[in-house]
Structure 1
């Protein structure tokens, strides 16, 4: 007994009970050496119960909750193995991991094993998805799974879309956020903040014609020609920088917004702006204060909005999206009538 306790103590110390990298990934094998469960753990508790199925299950449940495990199937498997051979074999696959690293390692192993030997593991799903997987638009609904290349191309890979053919007669302003979008990861936005970050990045502030934008029904936010946001707007959505108050002002990306906030008071002089820590560029100050931003509104046509939202995650292949900060698919004549462009002459 003392030798066993010594082994558990050594395991616990080696794995690191209170360290950030205390997590590990392990698997349980049956008496034929065949894996039937892959899990994430910390500390040494999972190794304490060699021949007690109920206690082993209790430890697994406490560390994993109810996520991705069929406990009735797992319980039956463990009890059968203990009755047959006396203990469940546990294998440490990777250790010294942060929790997120452990989630990714666990998921990768589940994906691989389930692809080769389907429906063998007692894990219900294939574990945690990466950030990119979470926000992908897989047509079959699976966020994380192993796929052959054709399956990946058919269901996950970004699709090319000709916007003119898809919905070219809906007035849209396309806003490119190539500089802002990567800052989402540097500013470590949580999943719940991701949509807010994209929206705030697209909201402003742009050197565009407010008269023309007021005819738009939607703004589409683009990152490297990929649609990442769809926002309904109307003629009241658009305002110059100085017409925003602090409560309405975009929060993200934080790198830019602190300086932008110094601009919003209408009567602020350049000297006052510079004294508050603004940029040392009077021409930039004057130009920036005249730029345009928007706030989304409730969509007038919910079916049309849902239809456009299906563009999220697609690649707009028209060359005019490549370098311009803003693109329209329409123009407005002197009588206020809209004229939609062919894809060859968008501007």
Structure 2
């Protein structure tokens, strides 16, 4: 079957669907759509992880298990439902290329993260530090290693000032998500990263470090530093006391 009867489509409205392995039942793709969207992937020829997985199944004489997870949705809440499911399963466990709709802003969060996002408890940074805004890549469901690697590189910085910084803060929407103790600075691409291997970029750098001591964590993590960034300032880097 590669299409729905007309009367079924009328009742489906917007829906969220999943593709899973017919043997292991491991879910490998989550999507949203209406009409016959759920079947479109079977005809997809693009070079991507999802298509590669489907081709592997076909080579074994298998077809993916396709299920409608929820249907009858008449508004754009289908976007957030899809996003919540992707967050729950973990983007790294799926063949989806992108995180869900507004996942970085409204996605899976710990209690501390959600309180910090709305309470915005301000803090004054007193140690030599560098604030690094990672708004473009951040999502609340990032692993610890992903957060570390996206915070530490790859940046155009004033290296003389950066070398004076003892700590690096991962900042999203003005809130400190993590604090690292800087050990050394390297040219971008010189160390292993979950972001994958890149060619060394001469005008960019990355740092190597560890999680900051517990006393520093308690002082800064999940606190607000949004006042340090003036409105309209697009520079992701801010030097404090260095």
TM-score scaled by structure 1? 0.36
Structure with the higher helix share, 1 or 2: 1
TM-score scaled by structure 2? 0.49
Select the structure of larger CA radius of gyration: 1
Higher RCO (CA-CA < 8 Å; seq separation 6+) = 2
Structure with the higher strand share, 1 or 2: 2
